[in-house]
Amino acid sequence: MKKKILLIFILLIFCKGLSAQVTYAVDDPGMFLLLYKNISDFNTLDTSFLNVTYKLDYIEDPAVRDVKTDLMVLQIGNRYSKFFSLNLHRNDSVCTIISKMTMNVPLNTGTEKGYEIFRNLSTGNLTVTNRIPFSQKVFRYEEKYETIKWTFEKGRDTILGYACNRATADFRGRHYTAWYTTGIPSQLGPWKFSGLPGLILKVCDDKNEYVFECTGLSQQPEPIVRYDWKYQDVPKRKWMDFEKYVYTNAGKYIKSTGVNIVLCSSNSKPHEISITWALPYNPIER
């Protein structure tokens, strides 16, 4: 079930102090919005020779089992690969253009993943960036290559016309089943998955809380870019601790950003989110 933003954007400017306060009105408190980022300035790291689109279905609250969906892209070049949210990129692209004409830019749906994962293909090492909800901040951390210990299993499937073999692995606190095809000679896959003798076209954990499935392939060359944003470099552990804090202390975090969230539901009068508000925390890795 998609969350709705009832009041798209309200900007209240207090001219005397030249300060601003932003209010978002939603019909469901389980809403974390990523503000758009300007993507005009960037560095080109590589050019892709293969672009793989994945549908990501994920569950943030295991007790409710409300499935959220995002569309992700894996760009594969000779020196780098990049994995990111296509939906978030599209929103950034539109907003970058219309922000030059108006302050009222469209918001995303609240289901887009705010990370970008760059892989140095010569070392396998990762650079991961994470956008912060209701903020322009972007955290970044480096991660050394980790070999995933895959176990090859019996079983075959067909995805997008490609014959796929089955493999399983325990990785970052979850047990996964992956389907890969030797018909596409790449050892990569969605998110941080890699190391199988063929491109991973589908992977899911045993609770079906994170399911990546390929929906499209393209050999159209595309630039693999890194945007000229102001990144805050942190150790990975610090990022994971911060992410957990943001979810489990959502009300307190929102207040710290200077943003107001007003809940507008049919069951009660509009009211601000409480400082004690918390969101379920179900990260893909632990």
Confidence of residue 7 (pLDDT cuts 50, 70, 90): very low
Specify whether the CB–CB gap between 22 and 260 falls below 8 A.
yes
The predicted-structure confidence for 94-109, as pLDDT tens digits, reads as follows 999 888 776 666 667 7
Entry pTM? 0.90
> What pLDDT is recorded for position 110?
80
Please name the amino acid found at residue 217. L
The predicted-structure confidence for 185-230, as pLDDT tens digits, reads as follows 999 999 999 999 999 999 999 999 999 999 999 999 999 999 999 9
> What pLDDT is recorded for position 143?
97
Q: What are the boundaries of each domain within the chain?
A: 35-234
> What pLDDT is recorded for position 107?
66
Q: How far apart are CA 251 and CA 262, in angstroms?
A: 12
CATH fold of the domain at 35-234: outer membrane lipoprotein receptor (LolB), chain A (2.50.20)
Residues 6+ apart with CB under 8 A from 123: 145
Task: Output the DSSP codes for the chain.
Answer: ----EEEEEEEEEETTTTEEEEEEEESSS---PPPP---SSEEEEEE-SEEEEEEEEEES-TTTT-EEEEEEEEEE-SSEEEEEEHHHHHHHHHHHHHTTT-S-PPP--S----EEEEEETTT--EEEEEEPTTSS-EEEEEE-------EEEEEEEEETTEEEEEEEEEETTEEEEEEEETTS---B-STT-B-SSSEEEEEEETTSSEEEEEEEEE----EEEEE---EEE--HHHHHHHHHHHHHTHHHHHHHHTEEEEE--TTS--EEPPTT-------S--
